[in-house]
Chains A and B, each alone.
Chain A
Amino acid sequence: MSYKIAVASSDGENINETFGSTEKFIIYEVAGGSYEKFEERFYQEESDADQNRCNNSDKCRNSDGCGSGCGGKGGNSSKVELISDCRAVVCKKIGFHIQKQLERKAISFFDVSCTVKEALDKITAYYSRIDNHEPLRK
């Protein structure tokens, strides 16, 4: 079973972007215990999707997609939509509202400051144990 992990990194080396401020996510695909860069997805502010979803609420008009608005029913930020096919997202920091939106979509989030490699190694090892019903005990 393969799955995707979204990483918020500007240089591809370190996890150095917060969920709110990142302009792109690097998507890695994990299959059979190893991971590979799949693509980069760029986020455009005030995307059409965001407009449509928020047009009935003034409060949401200026949503910047980092969790300040659109917290209500069905009001996921377009940034969350951008990575909605991923199993997890890794970034430096993440806001509370976005956490809730991700939880609703069963996407895990890891707010860590380390290299992309370290994060992906640890996360894929963790998922591999869970998926194969192996104990987490080291």
Chain B
Amino acid sequence: MAKLLDKQRYKCALGAMQTVQAITRAIPVLHSGPGCAQKLSDSIGSSGYFSPNIFPCTSINEKDVVFGGAKKLDTTIANALKVIDADLYVVLTGCIPEIVGDDTAEVVSHFEDSEKPVIYASTAGFKGNNYKGHEQIIDAIIDQYLEKSEVKEKGLVNIWADVPYQDLFWLGNIRELEKLIAGLGLTPNTIFGYQRGIKNIDRIPKAEFNLLVSPWVSVGNMKKMEKKLGIPYLHYPTLPIGAFETSKFLREVGKFAGVDKEKIENIINDHENYYYYLIERYADMFLETRVMAKQFSVVADAQYALGITKFLVNDLGLVPAKQFVTDDTPKAFQEQIRKDFENLNYGLKAEVGFETDGYKIHQEIQSHDYHGYPLILGSYYEKELTEKMFGHFLNISWPVQDKVVLDDFYVGYTGGIRLIEDIYSVAVQRWN
């Protein structure tokens, strides 16, 4: 039976046009209906040199369904190459051309000899959500653009994290991850955001290893790169937020990269000293239990649900209620992620539900006894619910309506402090 999805928390695979947009000077060329990109474009930090309003699009209609849209795609790509000055052209196909069977690969192959690279990804909505679409874009880059390099650059590490724009803090997070890695004496390489782009994509094959910080997104990409480009990878499934997880993260990455143990410990020590100096100064506030909720729930994609749960338990000593992972995590990864939720400090375990239906999530939250007002970190959909329950609410996952984030971040030691600031700002506002 057909089902309605209440309060969707992701978009269709074509939403990965935002992944392309996050690569500076790369442009998505859409082979889709005229409304797709309009519906998929957020107005959150997506204007600039290329914005969704100018993405070339075949705007296919009924005629193209009947007679095929290949010719239109051909002219759209050819003209995009003529009028748009970009470094990389990524053709994304929507549902309609995929259903009627336009041969996008064949059309794109006409542009093999063009001055600028043209690649394609079949991002039909029925194939998955924009987390999957993101993987397909990276796959397209690996398959159609990158070549194996015999020369390796010592200490060069490609860093991969979650989905740009879907993750509100994507830019700040990836920069902070870069800083942490650079602190270990390694050279980070990322392809998203300011002053990154095609030159960084070209550097990918020279890396000594790939570092993936995500519970499940891009694991397939890492395997592909290992096979095609011979780059080994380290999969760190938890987004490191706060001192406990970040120190663990640095130890693991350092060990993998062969960094001297003493050096790693010294770096960690420096970070932790400052971190706990801040915590100590506000210890009376943290210990004032009247201010903070006794139990919390996170409603977010796997990376934030897991990262924040670990942070709130391990660093702040809060007690987890049920956590909700809303990104339609593939079944193959669910068991491992569930285990990660059960591996918390103080012998605590968090129950986790992989649930995409907002109605069911809200039912469960409402029927749970939080022993007082709850702390809910989730999408904007949880705001009204939390208000009804007189709880504390922080908007950390998509869709985001009551927060403006330019380059703020939650990752690392500093990110943990930022998250504490945000959570306690909500709490103290209520009491003052």
Residues of chain B within 8 A of A42, CB atoms compared: none
A64 close to chain B: CB less than 8 A: no
Contact A138 B67 (CB under 8 A): no
B270 close to chain A: CB less than 8 A: no
Interchain residue pairs A-B with the least CB separation, the first 3: A138-B101, A126-B66, A110-B63
A–B complex contacts, Cβ < 8 Å, 18 sampled: A108-B62, A109-B63, A110-B62, A110-B66, A110-B67, A111-B63, A112-B67, A122-B66, A122-B67, A123-B66, A126-B66, A135-B99, A136-B65, A136-B99, A136-B100, A137-B99, A138-B100, A138-B101
Contact B62 A137 (CB under 8 A): no
Residues of chain A within 8 A of B101, CB atoms compared: 137-138
Distance in Å: Cβ of A7 to nearest Cβ of chain B = 14
CB neighbors of B among A88-122 (8 A): 108-112, 114, 119, 122
Residues of chain A within 8 A of B66, CB atoms compared: 110, 122-123, 126
Nearest opposing residue in chain B for A124, CB measure: B66
**Size category of the binding interface on chain B:** under 10
Residue picked from B62, B63, B66, B67, most chain A C-beta under 10 Å: B66
CB neighbors of A among B46-80 (8 A): 62-63, 65-67
For the complex, give the distance between the alpha carbons of A108 and B64 in Å. Answer: 12
**Size category of the binding interface on chain A:** 10 to 19
Listed in ascending order, the chain B residues whose CB lies under 8 Å from chain A are 62-63, 65-67, 99-101
Nearest opposing residue in chain A for B101, CB measure: A138
Residue picked from B63, B65, B101, most chain A C-beta under 10 Å: B63
For the complex, give the distance between the alpha carbons of A123 and B67 in Å. Answer: 8
Residues of chain A within 8 A of B65, CB atoms compared: 126, 136
Distance in Å: Cβ of B2 to nearest Cβ of chain A = 14
For the complex, give the distance between the alpha carbons of A122 and B65 in Å. Answer: 10
For the complex, give the distance between the alpha carbons of A135 and B66 in Å. Answer: 13
Residues of chain B within 8 A of A108, CB atoms compared: 62
Distance in Å: Cβ of A50 to nearest Cβ of chain B = 28
CB neighbors of B among A33-92 (8 A): none
Residues of chain B within 8 A of A109, CB atoms compared: 63
Residues of chain A within 8 A of B62, CB atoms compared: 108, 110
Contact A112 B63 (CB under 8 A): yes
Residues of chain B within 8 A of A123, CB atoms compared: 66
Nearest opposing residue in chain A for B66, CB measure: A126
Nearest opposing residue in chain A for B98, CB measure: A137
Distance in Å: Cβ of B272 to nearest Cβ of chain A = 57
Residue picked from B62, B65, B67, most chain A C-beta under 10 Å: B67
Nearest opposing residue in chain B for A125, CB measure: B66
Distance in Å: Cβ of A86 to nearest Cβ of chain B = 15
Residues of chain A within 8 A of B100, CB atoms compared: 136-138
Nearest opposing residue in chain B for A122, CB measure: B66
For the complex, give the distance between the alpha carbons of A107 and B101 in Å. Answer: 25
Nearest opposing residue in chain B for A118, CB measure: B67
Distance in Å: Cβ of B322 to nearest Cβ of chain A = 40
For the complex, give the distance between the alpha carbons of A9 and B405 in Å. Answer: 59
For the complex, give the distance between the alpha carbons of A122 and B66 in Å. Answer: 6
Distance in Å: Cβ of B96 to nearest Cβ of chain A = 9
For the complex, give the distance between the alpha carbons of A110 and B65 in Å. Answer: 11
Distance in Å: Cβ of B71 to nearest Cβ of chain A = 10
For the complex, give the distance between the alpha carbons of A112 and B67 in Å. Answer: 8
Residues of chain A within 8 A of B67, CB atoms compared: 110, 112, 114, 119, 122
Residues of chain B within 8 A of A112, CB atoms compared: 63, 67
Residues of chain B within 8 A of A119, CB atoms compared: 67
For the complex, give the distance between the alpha carbons of A119 and B67 in Å. Answer: 8
Residues of chain B within 8 A of A110, CB atoms compared: 62-63, 66-67
Distance in Å: Cβ of B281 to nearest Cβ of chain A = 63
Name 13 extra pairs, CB < 8 A, besides A114-B67, A123-B66.
A108-B62, A110-B66, A111-B63, A112-B63, A119-B67, A122-B67, A126-B65, A126-B66, A136-B99, A136-B100, A137-B101, A138-B100, A138-B101
